[in-house]
Structure 1
Amino acid sequence: MNENRVLLSPESFRNIYCVGRNYRLHAAELGNEVPTSPMIFTKPTHAIFEMTGNELVLPASQGSVHYEAELVFAVGRQYEAGISCDDLFSSFTVGLDLTLRDVQDKLKAKGHPWLAAKGFRNSATLGRWHPFSGELAMQASDFGLLINNEQVQRGNARDMVFDLQRIADHVGSNFGLSTGDLIYTGTPAGVGSLSDGDLLEVWWNEESLGRSRVKLEG
């Protein structure tokens, strides 16, 4: 098991990889086909936002902003062929892959990249980090999102289309992985739009990992 310390500082983070359509029910709710191999997109590090009870400022002038709660894993060492994901990842949390859904729909219709819809500032939120205890341990507890103290999403790593090992091998072999890289692993069903003033709370194993209140502006 990886004994590297839990990453806590945004200055430590490097590449942000995200897996699209990695939960069947989420793909179905948006009318998307489930991919046959991991579908990867990226976010810039300027998108990172730590949920520490602070205000989450999001754009209000580009259509709806959708929440997508996801398990997020931090890489603790360089990827090598054959490495176990249990040794590769050092820590995990629950974050939000925030999406400008109307913008994304237009980009998808034109066959354009998703950066404008996925990479805006504060679009990659992160809760408090926990040490990673292995892939099987992740399946022992659920994760999710509360909005205004009501559950809107609940998921479990065992329901992912592509498991952690498959994701690690795909990203590592095609793009590279090293210390400080983050992987957002997809969202379960239940995504929807945010409203100004919403109180967001991500959780793991019924434990709160972070809270922030939404402010839509601009």
Structure 2
Amino acid sequence: MEIKNIFCIGRNYKNHALELGNEVPDQPLVFSKPTSALASADGSVLSFPANRGDIHHELEIVLYIGNEVERGFTVEEIVTQMALGIDLTLRDIQSNLKKKGHPWFVAKGFRNAAIVTGFWDFPGVEQIKDVEFSLERDGETVQQGNIQSVIFSFQALLEYIYEEIGLSKGDIIYTGTPEGVGPITDGEEYTLKWGNEVKGRFTVSKRS
């Protein structure tokens, strides 16, 4: 599967924005990650820096644009597959960058900062509204949500990206995280679940 661009949405769940002391946005907050940040939740051990402060996990639904995008599209016309992903953040570095008014890219674009499970066929927005997605840390649920709690719908997000930046076949979109974000620690195993189905796993290795 070809992945061209990685777009991410910040603060798309109200309770997550509030838990970090951020304002609830009145329009989508879009940022990007490089494709070099991609990593697979295929049971691998993934390495992360141990000397750059806290690294927070943010569980998200990921959409894959599998068809050409033309004005007036619907989500179902352009999204062909979906996955679960984790947007990792160097939280201390991000906080310092925000205080200085600098871009977040260094805090969001490091190696293995865009974890993703395998993709599966996208069934449509209505079909996934009641499905809970969750993240377990060593068997304990630390994040859980569903898309009924989003501030901006998938349709609104994709239209915004299309109009403001551009959206193409091959792009993926991390659609925002529910509350419960927190730091990862060396040796922990994380499990990403769609309903009761395990979609991916990885183990943390923090290196100096």
TM-score category, normalised to shorter length: over 0.9
**2:17 aligned with 1:27, yes or no?**
yes
Residue number in structure 2 paired with 1:5: none
* Per-residue Cα deviation, 1:147-190 (whole angstroms, up to 9, x for no partner): 00100000101111000000010001111111110000000000
User: Hey, what's the Cα distance between the residues in 2 that align with 1:149 and 1:109?
Assistant: 36
User: Hey, what's the Cα distance between the residues in 1 that align with 2:128 and 2:153?
Assistant: 11
Aligned-CA RMSD value: 0.8
User: Hey, what's the Cα distance between the residues in 1 that align with 2:23 and 2:109?
Assistant: 23
User: Hey, what's the Cα distance between the residues in 2 that align with 1:137 and 1:56?
Assistant: 32
1:81: how far off?
1.5
- Tell me the TM-score normalized by structure 1: 0.94
1:56: how far off?
1.0
Residue number in structure 1 paired with 2:175: 185
* Per-residue Cα deviation, 1:119-168 (whole angstroms, up to 9, x for no partner): 00100000121100111112120101000010000010111100000001
In structure 1, list runs of 5 or more residues that go unmatched.
1-8
User: Hey, what's the Cα distance between the residues in 2 that align with 1:154 and 1:212?
Assistant: 18
- Tell me the TM-score normalized by structure 2: 0.98
Matches within 5 A, 1:27-106: 27-106=17-96
User: Residue 80 of structure 1 contacts residue 172 of structure 1 at CA under 8 Å; is this kept in 2?
Assistant: no
Task: Name the SS of the counterpart of 1:166 in structure 2.
Answer: helix
User: Hey, what's the Cα distance between the residues in 2 that align with 1:178 and 1:197?
Assistant: 38
Q: Which runs of 4+ in 1 moved over 4 A?
A: none
User: Hey, what's the Cα distance between the residues in 2 that align with 1:215 and 1:142?
Assistant: 28
Identity %: 42
Matches within 5 A, 1:198-209: 198-209=188-199
